[in-house]
Structure formats: structure tokens, C-alpha cells
Amino acid sequence: MADVSRLPAALVAHWDWQRQAACRDMDLEIFFHPDGERDPSRSQRVARARAICDSCPVEKACRDWAHQVEEQYGTWGGESEDERRLVISRRRRHARQGASAPRPAA
């Protein structure tokens, strides 16, 4: 079962940006890999998706959303799954380091 704990409440404000997305109503195969896809096909597909994202008015909102919910699949905001996994991993590592850092004396 999918972990939905990172998803925000179902408020229109959380989703409204998607109505302006350049990819809206496009073929999702451009943004999500088929089973067994490998390079160079994968790199070419991601490049096509990025070209669409580059002209998208909500590219940053899309990428921020994918980071917030830790989206595991697809190209979001011009960022591939592998790139996003790295960003999320770094964010988690920094959060752990910050939580374990000693607090300064008052």
C-alpha cells in the first residue's frame, strides 16, 4: 500500500498549479518510464520531458511538489527520478545531521 502520509490535505490550493502545467492532457509515457526501459531510450525520454518542463509556467511548483511528497516515479518539474532521489536523500541526511547537532548553551 502506498504511503500517503506526506500528502497535504485535499485543498484546491495544493493542486491548482497543475491546471497551468504544460504537460496537462499530454501522453504520460513521456514523463513515466515503461517497465524495463534502459539507456539510451530512458535518457532520450527524459530529455523530451525536460524540454516540455523548460517551457512550463509551473515548473518550480511541480518540482517542489515532487520533493514535498517524495514522488518516486516520473519526471516532475524537469527533474528525473534519479535526480530527485538524490535531492531527497541529501535533504534527509541534512535533516538528520541538524537534529543530532548539539544545541548551543543558553
The answer on whether 23 is annotated among ligand-binding residues is yes
SS3 state at 30: helix
Taking 3-state DSSP, the helix, strand and coil percentages for the chain, each rounded to the nearest 5, stand at 55, 0, 45
48: annotated binding-site residue?
Answer: no
Q: Is 36 annotated as a binding residue?
A: no
56 among annotated binding-site residues: yes
Binding site residue list: 23, 53, 56, 62
Binding site feature residues for [4Fe-4S] cluster? 23, 53, 56, 62
